[in-house]
Amino acid sequence: MRALVTGGGGFLGRYVVEQLLARGDQVRVLGRRDYPDLTALGVECVRGDVADANIVSQACAGMDVVFHTAAIAGIWGRWEDFYQANVVGTENVVAGCHEHGVSRLVYTSSPSVTFDGTDQNGVGESVPYPTRWLAHYPRSKAIAEQYVLKANQPGKLLTCALRPHLIWGPRDQHLIPRLIERAKSGKLRIVGHGRNMVDMIYVENAAFAHLQAADALREGGKVCGKAYFLSQGEPVMCWVWINELLKLAKIPPLTRKISYRAAYAIGWLMEWGYRILGKYNSEPRMTRFLAAQLATNHYFNIAAARHDFGYAPKINTQEGMRRLAETL
Phi/psi-derived region of residue 233, left when phi > 0, alpha when psi is between -120 and 50, beta in every other case: left
Residues in the chain, total: 328
Distance, CA of 98 to CA of 298 (rounded, Å): 36
Tell me the H-state helices in the chain: 11-22, 36-40, 53-60, 79-82, 89-100, 136-150, 175-184, 203-216, 238-248, 260-277, 288-295, 303-309, 317-325
Burial tier of 274 (Cβ tally within 10 Å: 0-12, 13-18, 19+): middle
In 3D space, the residue among 45, 40, 5, 3 whose CA is nearest the CA of residue 23 turns out to be: 3
Is 280 annotated as catalytic? no
- Measured from the Cβ of residue 17, the count of other Cβ atoms closer than 10 Å reads 27
Distance, CA of 43 to CA of 26 (rounded, Å): 7
**CA-to-CA separations, 325 to 18, 81, 108, in angstroms, rounded:** 21, 35, 26
- Let me know: does 96 contact 135? Beta carbons within 8 Å: no
The amino acid sitting at 233 is G
Distance, CA of 205 to CA of 200 (rounded, Å): 11
Residues 137, 202, 264, 311: which is the catalytic one?
137
Positions marked catalytic: 137
